[in-house]
Structure 1
Amino acid sequence: MTVVVVGNPKPMSRTRAAAELIARELSGSAPSAVVDVVDLGAGLLGWGDPKVAEAKATVLGADSLVVASPTFKATYTGLLKLFLDQFGQGELGGIPTFPVMLGAGLQHALAPELTLRPVLVEIGASCPAPSLYLIDSEYATSPDLAIWLESARKYVPAAVTP
Structure 2
Amino acid sequence: MTVVVVGNPKPMSRTRSAAESIVQKLTGTEPEHVIDVVDLGAGLLGWGDPKVAEAKEIVKSAESLVVASPTFKATYTGLLKLFLDQFGAGELGQITTFPVMLGGSYRHALAPELSLRPVLVEIGASCPAPGLYLLDSEYESSEDLDAWLPIARRFLTAVPS
How high is the TM-score relative to the length of structure 1? 0.98
Give matches, 1:7-156, under 5 Å: 7-156=7-156
SS of structure 2 residue aligned to 1:126: coil
8 Å CA contact 1:104, 1:136 repeated in 2: yes
Code of the aligned partner of 2:75: T
Deviations 1:47-91 (A, max 9, x none): 000000000000000000000000000000000000000000000
- Counterparts of 1:19 and 1:38, CA distance in 2: 15
Inter-partner Cα distance in structure 2 for 1:36 and 1:156: 23
Give the Cα separation in 2 of the matches to 1:2 and 1:100. 14
CA distance in 1, matches of 2:35, 2:106: 27
- Superimposed CA distance per residue, residues 16-54 of structure 1 (whole angstroms, 9 cap, x where no aligned partner): 000001111111100000000000000000000000000
Q: Indicate the SS of the match to 2:34.
A: strand
**Distance in 2 separating the partners of 1:6 and 1:132:** 14
Instruction: Give the CA RMSD over aligned residues.
Output: 0.5
Question: What CA deviation, in whole Å up to 9, does each residue of 1:106-140 have, x standing for no partner?
Answer: 00000000000000000000000000000001001
Q: Post-superposition shift, 1:12?
A: 0.1
State whether residues 101 and 132 of structure 1, in contact with CA within 8 Å, keep that contact through their aligned partners in structure 2: yes
**Structure 2: runs of 5 or more not aligned:** none
For the residue of structure 1 that corresponds to 2:38, the secondary structure is helix
Aligned residue identity for 1:126 = S
Q: CA deviation at 1:150?
A: 1.4
Equivalent-residue separation in structure 2 for 1:157 and 1:72 (angstroms): 32
Give the match's secondary structure for 2:137: helix
Q: Which runs of 4+ in 1 moved over 2 A?
A: none
Counterpart contact for 1:64–1:157, Cα < 8 Å: no
